[in-house]
Amino acid sequence: ASLPLARPHAPIPQPKAMAVFSRFGAVALAAAVGSARARVPIPQGQGCNVVLDRASCCLFTDGRISTDYGGQDCVPSKEGVLFSTGPGDADGSPCQPRCWATGDCGDGVDQSEKVGACGASREPWYLLGAERACRADSDDATLDGRGTAMKLEGVVDLAQCKEACAASPVCSGVEYGDGTCEFWTRPIGYTVESPGYQCWALAARPPAPVPVSAATPAPAPAPLPPGVVEQPNAQIPTGGNVRFYAVGTSNAAWQTWPDQLHVMLRQLGYNVDMEPLGIPGALTQPSKAQVCADAASWSSLSTPRMGMIGWSSWGFAYDSKADCDAEGYRQIAGYPVSCTNAWACNPKWQGKYPSLNATALAVGVRDANFVVLSNWINDAKAARQAGPRKVCYKDADIDALKSTDVTAANLKRLIRKIHAQNPAVKIVVLARYADTRQVVYPNERTLPLVRALNDAVKAKIQGEPNTYFADFDFPLNENMFQTLSKVHPNCRGDKVMATSVLEALFDHKILSRGLALGPAAECLGSSSCESLSVPCCQRSALCYVAPGGTCTAYGPGQTP
């Protein structure tokens, strides 16, 4: 939000920092507005306080030109502290205009002791290839590192190109030639002949992207580990960097499927590179969950996610509530839908964060390889129950299947916001899981409706670019749901959900390496773990491959 104009030297209130710029987003914005040697104004007349990353803070001047802050260098707070932005503000800000931080303009008070320093260049540089262009790896046939490199406008020479890279915490190197500076955000693993170009890496030690001579025979491929499959021509090579985010409701906050997916990717040999989302309400681990047999494998991992308790898909699709009417409803797919984000749209059950800026979320996940959306399960739940339907849908003529029109509209709205930031991000929409019977069992009676809901949503998002649907089933008459957070899948269900995402990514040739999975009809409900093959064990909801490589029973988890 921009500030109102004020007379020179009049006190100007400081807005709270907004989750607008991720590290990559700030650098991209700097590139978009001009020279990388000098600081650039924050776009759209916004202030230093919208930058949430200390290193990116050093790239900008305050963009509120008609105020006392305009043109002031943005200064970062010291590591571990934040600038205090007002009484009762528990969050604070890591980036502010210099004059505000020193108490010399606006309503700022002297906080000079909190002002940090902008980092110096991370020399040394390593020339990976003269007369050569950068590539991600030997299979990379793209000109931009598979969509992860970007051109900086206004750069006049190689020195300025390097300087821009060194100022960013996400830059790994540059390609320069014909007056063009290309800024790389992933490791440079290869070079190809390209007259007039140079490829430089910025790292603690030089990588070794030495092209293999045509006369040198390629080494024999190492045998695959048990239970692993590989395919050629996928987008992310074996051993490549992977970054993903999960966006969901309580099924992301109270379940472990994002963490299990993180571990599976690591076990397959990928370098899982996770950055915090930096968005209010984001988590890095479940806020509560049953303790799984293999919980130690992810207990120290950070797996960023949005897990908004009780929300429906519309809570993730809009930037504000400006389009809500006086009664608190907006029209979505021809239905009145409540603007209250809570289970049953009950204001009493709103959490600490009652709303979410969808564009800020899109910016936060823009540097991901893929984003998993599991944020729509409550849409149909509200439509099926009289009380929630009356409040959430204003008692409209809607049922569970009709609610998929609302779901699809909201999913598409969020997907398109993400793709407006980076069209290369892959979106995986995760299927809705079964209802429960007797607390812990899948409800066979309502399973046809659940499958119809999944089929409808899958059909309605078909055609969205780089968007896929991950479907799955739970074995019937087995303990698949929690007793800690009822109606939520337990460790076994989370294993099935994580596996379905991994399988979809492999099937759509996003991942080069995946899990060998036995047929679901034979393996999903199999509990004879010691006699199962590795692929069948990996498919089973009731077994898992233990660290020693044996197929072992996988329990539902324990209540902590």
Q: What is the pTM of this model?
A: 0.63
SS3 annotation, 355-369: CCCHHHHHHHCCCCC
**Same domain as 165, residue 103:** no
Is residue 501 included in any domain, yes or no? yes
Is residue 482 included in any domain, yes or no? yes
Is residue 404 included in any domain, yes or no? yes
The three-state secondary structure class of 545 is strand
The three-state secondary structure class of 491 is helix
CA 304 to chain centre: 7
Considering only CA atoms, give the Rg of the chain. Answer: 25
**Same domain as 282, residue 161:** no
* CATH assignment of the domain containing 262: 3.40.50.1110
The three-state secondary structure class of 247 is strand
Count structural domains, the chain: 3
Query: What's the CA gap between 242 and 370, in Å, rounded?
Result: 8
CB 546 within 8 A of CB 531: no
> Residue 259 corresponds to which amino acid?
D
CB 538 within 8 A of CB 503: no
CB 467 within 8 A of CB 415: yes
**Same domain as 148, residue 194:** yes
Is residue 227 included in any domain, yes or no? no
**Same domain as 509, residue 390:** yes
Is residue 265 included in any domain, yes or no? yes
Query: What's the CA gap between 223 and 230, in Å, rounded?
Result: 11
H or E element at residue 250? helix 250-253
**Same domain as 267, residue 138:** no
Q: Which two tokens stand for residue 379?
A: 């849409």
**Same domain as 312, residue 188:** no
Is residue 144 included in any domain, yes or no? yes
Of 88, 121, 154, the one marking the end of a domain is 121
The three-state secondary structure class of 525 is coil
**Residue range(s) defining the domain that contains residue 438:** 240-514
Query: What's the CA gap between 57 and 43, in Å, rounded?
Result: 13
Is residue 210 included in any domain, yes or no? no
**Same domain as 155, residue 51:** no
**Same domain as 76, residue 178:** no
> Helices (H) and strands (E) in the chain — how many of each?
14, 25
**Same domain as 287, residue 145:** no
Of 86, 121, 156, the one marking the end of a domain is 121
**Same domain as 109, residue 165:** no
**Same domain as 486, residue 377:** yes
Is residue 71 included in any domain, yes or no? yes
- The residues, any chain, with a CB within 8 Å of residue 548's CB and separated by 6 or more, are none
The three-state secondary structure class of 74 is strand
**Same domain as 443, residue 305:** yes
Of 56, 88, 121, the one marking the end of a domain is 121
User: pLDDT 10s digit of each residue in the chain, 560 long?
Assistant: 222 222 222 233 333 333 333 333 333 343 333 333 356 666 556 788 876 667 667 767 887 877 888 888 889 888 888 888 765 545 678 889 999 999 988 887 899 999 988 764 444 566 777 888 988 877 788 888 887 788 887 788 888 888 888 776 667 788 999 889 998 877 777 788 899 999 887 654 334 444 444 444 555 555 666 799 999 999 999 899 999 999 999 999 999 999 999 999 999 999 998 888 888 889 999 999 999 999 999 999 999 999 999 999 999 999 999 999 999 999 999 999 999 999 999 999 998 889 999 999 999 999 999 999 999 999 999 999 999 999 999 999 999 999 999 999 999 999 999 999 999 999 999 999 999 999 999 999 999 999 999 999 999 999 999 999 999 999 999 999 999 999 999 999 999 999 999 999 999 999 999 999 999 999 999 999 999 999 999 999 999 999 878 999 999 999 88
